[in-house]
Amino acid sequence: MKTTAEFRARAEAALAALGVDHDAWCVDDGAVRARSPLTGEELCGVRTHTAAEVADAVAAASEAFLTWREVPAPVRGALVKRLGELIGEHKEDLAALVTIEAGKIHTEALGEVQEMIDICDFAVGLSRQLYGRTMPSERVGHRLQETWQPLGVVGVISAFNFPVAVWSWNTAIALVCGDPVVWKPSELTPLCALGCDALLRRAMAEVGAPEGLHAVVIGDRAIGEALVDDPRVALVSATGSTRMGREVGPRVAARFGRSLLELGGNNAVIVTPSANLDQAVSSIVFGAAGTAGQRCTSTRRLLVHESVADEVVGRVARAFESLQAGDPFADGVLLGPLVNEAAFDAMQASLEKARAQGGEVVSGGERADVDADGFWVRPALVRMPAQEGVVLTETFAPILYVLTWSDFDEAIALHNAVPQGLSSGLFSNDVLEAERYLGASGADTGIANVNAGTSGAEIGGAFGGEKETGGGRESGSDAWRAYMRRATNTINYSGSVQLAQGVDFG
If one asks whether residue 203 binds ligand NAD (CB under 6 A), the answer comes out as: no
For β-strands 299-305 and 360-363, DSSP reports them as unpaired
Burial of 142 (0-12, 13-18, 19+ CB in 10 A): middle
CB closer to ligand NAD, 89 vs 220: 220
Q: Which is nearer to ligand NAD, 44 or 226 (CB)?
A: 226
32's CB contacts (< 8 A; 6+ apart) are: 45, 46, 48, 187, 190, 218, 219, 220
Asked if 321 is part of the footprint of ligand NAD (rule: CB under 6 A), the reply reads no
Contact predicate 157/239, CB 8 Å: yes
Task: Please provide the DSSP assignment of 78-108 as one string.
Answer: HHHHHHHHHHHHTHHHHHHHHHHHH---HHH
Amino acid symbol at 214: H
**DSSP labels for 100-166?**
HHH---HHHHHHHHHHHHHHHHHHHHHTT-----EE--SSTTEEEEEEEEE--EEEEE--SSSTTHH
Separate counts of helices (H) and strands (E) for the chain? 15, 21
Selected from 77, 155, 178, 240, the binder of ligand NAD by CB under 6 A is 240
Known active-site residue 262: yes
37 binding ligand NAD? (CB under 6 A): no
C-beta closer to ligand NAD: residue 82 or 295: 295
Smallest gap from residue 209 Cβ to ligand NAD (A): 25
Residue tagged active-site, from 262, 394, 433, 468? 262
* Of the residues 228, 234, 434, 462, which one makes contact with ligand NAD according to CB under 6 A: 228
Number of residues counted as binding ligand NAD (CB under 6 A): 29
Cβ contacts of residue 331 below 8 Å, gap of 6+?
A: none
Beta carbon of residue 236, minimum distance to ligand NAD (angstroms, whole number): 8
Q: Assess 182 for contact with ligand NAD (CB under 6 A).
A: no
Does 427 sit near ligand NAD (CB under 6 A)?
A: no
Q: Does 476 bind ligand NAD (CB under 6 A)?
A: no
Q: Which stretch binds ligand NAD (CB under 6 A): 61-69, 111-119, 180-188, 447-455?
A: 180-188
Q: Does 280 bind ligand NAD (CB under 6 A)?
A: no
Q: Return the residues of window 100-159 that contact ligand NAD according to CB under 6 A.
A: 157-159
Contact of 165 with 158, CB cutoff 8 Å? no
Annotated catalytic residues are: 262
Q: Which residues bind ligand NAD (CB under 6 A)?
A: 157-162, 184, 186-187, 220-221, 224-225, 228, 239-241, 244, 247-248, 262-265, 296, 394, 396, 422, 469
